[in-house]
Chains A and B, each alone.
Chain A
Amino acid sequence: MSFVKDIQKVLRQNIREYGMFIALFVIMAIFTITTKGIFISSRNISNLLNQTGYIAVLGVGMTLVIVIRHIDLSVGFLAGFLGAVAAIAMEFWGLPVYVVIPFALALGALAGSITAFLVAQMGIPAFVATLAGWLIYRGAILVVTEGTGTIIISSDAFNALGNGFIPDIPGLNFLPEVHKLTLLLGIITMILFVISEINSRRRKQAYNFEVLPMNVFTLKLVFASLVIAGITWVLSGYNGLSWTVVIVLIVVAIYHFVSTQTVLGRHIYAIGGNPEAAELSGVNVKKITYVVFSSMGMLSALSGMLFASRLQSATTTAGNLFELDAIAAAFVGGVSAAGGVGKVTGAIIGALVMMSLSSGMNLMGIGIAYQYMVRGAVLAAAVIFDVATRSTGK
């Protein structure tokens, strides 16, 4: 059977890329069985995606940080701190939401550039510099919430970021249980995906580049379309697409575009592949380091706000262990510990894996102590997988 052989060959060559999908699929299947289907219910999946949001945006930024051979441990408490700052700005200073959000994002970028200053300018290892940041921001959260404790956020607009859903198309009466706009968007996405895959395959063939064999390619299209259709159906059966998912999708789209299509993206991956060669090729390594860490800081701010919005409050423990989930998301998503390799889209899958684990174990009533152990084991497994597949993957 050449078809089976083709599939085997493609799987073996692209194991790095497909590994995370397989992991996600297996995890979801297991939890669906152990929770007797509750896990896969519309309500739970919708919740799961909303929870994934604040880790996913961190994972996207973290991927680029790891690609340029650094690490950022400070993102969790920076997110928590900036979430608290946003809450204070709204509740105590009375600033409107549309001012607070850009303000917090700018603060995040600033914090990131301070890390970059330490790393690029002073030559301090990122691990140490951001460990310092971890402590400092942790203290900072405690300071700003000292007098008040938990700060309740009253702005509905802000709280919608983490809890709200996109409106439905008004005036349509068929399928009353289903969110029609979500359904429509899902179908459009599916069609665009198929068209763009076919186009890209054609273009590659025109240049005689290696492409998937036709039968495997078809299988991939069918499979991916089914996944999109499935997610769409599940979501439209509950409240539809949430604002969090919309925000995450926009962030990923921007980062995916920048990292794959632009000069900036090329420079980032070049530095990751060989910093010295990149520098000698005229890439400004310092500048890129600033850009990557600032973007990480900005995404931390976004993550902090998504989290605060989800809880409708800023708490003293916000951001705890986010960095672990973000780093794990990046590694599960296929980033290489040696630098230079990894896609931002992978971080989304990685974040879903990490959050599915939490969500599934919660549903099963597994204690938090064991949850930590499982998440740690998954992180280790992802890196082992990275090292083991480095020579065979492309």
Chain B
Amino acid sequence: MKPPILEMRRITKEFPGVKALDDVSFQVKKGEIHCLVGENGAGKSTLMKVLSGVYPHGEYAGEIVFEGEIQEFGSISDSEQAGIAIIYQELALIPDMAIFENIFLGHEIGNGFTINWNETVKRAGEMLEKVKLDVNPATKVKDLGVGKQQLVEIAKSLSRDVKLLILDEPTSALNEDDVENLFDLLRDIKDQGVTCVLITHKLKEVIEIADAVTVLRDGKTVCTLDAHEGEVSESVLIRHMVGREIEDIYPKRQHQIADEIVLEVNDWTAYDPNIGRTVFESVKFNLRKGEIVGFAGLMGSGRTELARSIFGNPDKYKTSGNVYIKGSKKNFRHPQESIAAGVAYVTEDRKKNGLILIQDVKQNITLANLKEIARRGVVDDNAEIKVATDYKDSLGIKTPSIEQKVENLSGGNQQKVSVAKWLYVQPEILILDEPTRGIDVGAKFEIYTIMNQLVEQGMSIIMVSSELPEILGMSDRVYIVSSGKITGEMPIEEATQENIMHMATLN
């Protein structure tokens, strides 16, 4: 029996109107990989923020024992000092700086006044070796993919002599190869004696890597399971998380695909003048009424760019080719035009460009369709409240009030607000870019159910997703994109993980 490295006892944390953590106890043994799971808003991130000093001692009740001593962290740097490092989903690297600068940012090597760059580069190289990242330490972070950036983050924390590494949803933006890489690395540093806490919504990963799992629900600890005693399976986890069984997470629908083609894209090429390269080339596809078409591929294959170029081209790509909506030629020049024509686009990154974080839930939901609740340019408050309340109820958005600022919602509930905004536009064509990123199983099921209802009512959906099970479970037809080209198209009956992966890696 290994001794616990961390014990959080009876932690309670309240926000105005919300009890985010209610008497939570959490124990992590030295040297294990401990997964923390639970629905959106269960309190996972909050618990880790309490631990890492984001919410300083005094703002919560309960006590934290780390390495046998009671800790009262007053700030993040206190917990860092003690050997706790936290890596957030939104990476905290500076894109325009080199890797070695990033790794030692905040604890530069030198005499306290000038920096010893040679030593910095050398040590950075060693750290990169540790995380098995084979790139030049002088590479700028922005030139790395997300997966590699994540490794740089880990290298950064390892360089600080970390004892407990916390990763909050590290894999939601990674493709499968990168996830494998990351997990190999985690096992590696575990062998070196570093303890890990991993927050994730992907239960497969939990089964794969966890030594122990703690489930939170509604701010309370449900249980802690030991993976080596064989009691952990996806259905067990789901039951603990949701409180009920979910048999098939991809709900069935009645297929009512009409022959009518609502969207057709021909010979569509885009060149991005800002980075000076062609982002995709000669793309040709179509979408029929009542159909869900999946766009599979690896991160960075050009699917988001494709979606944005059709949705009013906000990045000002130079495009050639044609887009037809219901047979008439429409090359939109502004999102406004595509919204008016019944096309909506749920962005992949809700914080960066999906939501207005400092505004409240209702203002976010109505933003794209204010004219619906306005008379002669004046917004009708009562109508707005009604709309927002309806969506809050129908999508199950967990928030104390529709006047809560969106930045205070948990990740999954933010995603639901983002979806609600676009549903309220009542589009005919809905483009969903990674619609369930960072969303728990229960909420995923709800979003899939909503998608099914929408197509049954005659809406058509394009779903860009990097999660193959989701593509296979929800699409009627699949296009596979690789390096800016469509490398394959198949009806869902013919699609398998293997043949999609094969085409997704074609060049």
Chain A: residues with CB nearer than 8 A to chain B?
A: 13, 207-210, 261-264, 266-267, 269-270, 273-274, 276-284, 340-341, 394
Question: Known contacts A270-B356, A273-B356, A273-B357; is A282 also within 8 Å of B368 by CB?
Answer: yes
For residue B21, give the distance in angstroms from its CB to the closest CB of chain A: 19
Say yes or no: A284 contacts B370, CB within 8 Å. no
In angstroms, Cα B311 to Cα A283, docked, is 13
Q: B314 is contacted by which of A207, A209, A264, A280 (Cβ under 8 Å)?
A: A280
Q: Report the 9 A-B pairs with minimum CB-CB distance, sorted nearest first.
A: A273-B356, A281-B368, A276-B353, A282-B339, A282-B336, A263-B370, A274-B356, A281-B367, A277-B353
Most buried by B among A13, A267, A274, A340: A274
For residue B430, give the distance in angstroms from its CB to the closest CB of chain A: 14
Say yes or no: B356 contacts A394, CB within 8 Å. no
Question: Known contacts A207-B385, A277-B353, A341-B358; is A263 also within 8 Å of B377 by CB?
Answer: yes
Determine if B335 is an interface residue (Cβ-Cβ < 8 Å). Answer: yes
Chain B: residues with CB nearer than 8 A to chain A?
A: 16-17, 311-312, 314, 334-336, 339-340, 345, 347, 352-359, 363, 367-368, 370-371, 374, 377-379, 385, 401, 403, 405, 421
**Which residues of chain A are within 8 angstroms of B312 by Cβ–Cβ distance?**
280
Minimum CB distance partner of B354 in chain A: A277
Minimum CB distance partner of A264 in chain B: B377
For residue A329, give the distance in angstroms from its CB to the closest CB of chain B: 22
Query: What total count of A-B pairs have CB within 8 Å?
Result: 81
In angstroms, Cα B406 to Cα A340, docked, is 14
The 25 listed contacts between A and B (C-beta, < 8 Å) are: A207-B385, A209-B403, A210-B401, A261-B378, A262-B374, A262-B379, A264-B377, A266-B367, A266-B379, A267-B370, A270-B359, A273-B356, A274-B355, A277-B355, A278-B356, A278-B367, A279-B314, A279-B335, A280-B312, A280-B314, A280-B347, A281-B339, A282-B336, A340-B356, A394-B405
**Which residues of chain B are within 8 angstroms of A13 by Cβ–Cβ distance?**
16
**Which residues of chain A are within 8 angstroms of B334 by Cβ–Cβ distance?**
282, 284
For residue B338, give the distance in angstroms from its CB to the closest CB of chain A: 8
Given contact pairs A261-B379, A276-B353, a sample of 7 additional A-B residue pairs in the complex whose CB atoms are under 8 Å apart: A207-B385, A208-B401, A210-B401, A262-B377, A274-B356, A281-B421, A282-B339
For residue A342, give the distance in angstroms from its CB to the closest CB of chain B: 11
**Which residues of chain B are within 8 angstroms of A283 by Cβ–Cβ distance?**
336, 367
**Which residues of chain B are within 8 angstroms of A274 by Cβ–Cβ distance?**
353, 355-357
In angstroms, Cα B374 to Cα A262, docked, is 8
For residue A334, give the distance in angstroms from its CB to the closest CB of chain B: 14
In angstroms, Cα B337 to Cα A283, docked, is 10
Say yes or no: B363 contacts A266, CB within 8 Å. yes
Q: A210 is contacted by which of B354, B356, B357, B403 (Cβ under 8 Å)?
A: B403
**Which residues of chain A are within 8 angstroms of B347 by Cβ–Cβ distance?**
277, 280
In angstroms, Cα B16 to Cα A273, docked, is 22
Q: B367 is contacted by which of A208, A209, A264, A270 (Cβ under 8 Å)?
A: A270
In angstroms, Cα B377 to Cα A159, docked, is 36
Minimum CB distance partner of A287 in chain B: B336
In angstroms, Cα B406 to Cα A270, docked, is 13
In angstroms, Cα B357 to Cα A278, docked, is 11
Question: Known contacts A209-B401, A263-B374, A269-B359; is A284 also within 8 Å of B336 by CB?
Answer: yes
In angstroms, Cα B371 to Cα A340, docked, is 21
**Which residues of chain B are within 8 angstroms of A267 by Cβ–Cβ distance?**
370
In angstroms, Cα B17 to Cα A284, docked, is 35
Question: Known contacts A277-B354, A280-B335, A394-B405; is A210 also within 8 Å of B374 by CB?
Answer: no
For residue B54, give the distance in angstroms from its CB to the closest CB of chain A: 11
Say yes or no: A277 contacts B374, CB within 8 Å. no
Question: Known contacts A270-B367, A282-B339, A394-B405; is A277 also within 8 Å of B356 by CB?
Answer: yes
Question: Known contacts A209-B401, A270-B367; is A276 also within 8 Å of B421 by CB?
Answer: no
For residue B401, give the distance in angstroms from its CB to the closest CB of chain A: 6
**Which residues of chain B are within 8 angstroms of A340 by Cβ–Cβ distance?**
356, 358-359
Minimum CB distance partner of A390 in chain B: B358
**Which residues of chain B are within 8 angstroms of A280 by Cβ–Cβ distance?**
311-312, 314, 335, 345, 347, 353-354
For residue B324, give the distance in angstroms from its CB to the closest CB of chain A: 21
Minimum CB distance partner of A275 in chain B: B353
Minimum CB distance partner of A257 in chain B: B378
In angstroms, Cα B368 to Cα A283, docked, is 8
In angstroms, Cα B371 to Cα A263, docked, is 7
In angstroms, Cα B368 to Cα A184, docked, is 44
For residue B9, give the distance in angstroms from its CB to the closest CB of chain A: 27
Most buried by A among B312, B335, B371: B335
**Which residues of chain B are within 8 angstroms of A277 by Cβ–Cβ distance?**
347, 352-356
In angstroms, Cα B358 to Cα A279, docked, is 16
Most buried by B among A266, A276, A282, A341: A282
In angstroms, Cα B356 to Cα A279, docked, is 11
For residue B156, give the distance in angstroms from its CB to the closest CB of chain A: 25
**Which residues of chain A are within 8 angstroms of B352 by Cβ–Cβ distance?**
276-277
Minimum CB distance partner of B370 in chain A: A263
**Which residues of chain B are within 8 angstroms of A263 by Cβ–Cβ distance?**
370-371, 374, 377-379
In angstroms, Cα B354 to Cα A273, docked, is 11
**Which residues of chain A are within 8 angstroms of B374 by Cβ–Cβ distance?**
262-263
For residue A25, give the distance in angstroms from its CB to the closest CB of chain B: 27
For residue A67, give the distance in angstroms from its CB to the closest CB of chain B: 11
In angstroms, Cα B405 to Cα A13, docked, is 14
In angstroms, Cα B416 to Cα A177, docked, is 64
For residue A16, give the distance in angstroms from its CB to the closest CB of chain B: 12
Say yes or no: B358 contacts A273, CB within 8 Å. yes
**Which residues of chain B are within 8 angstroms of A279 by Cβ–Cβ distance?**
314, 335
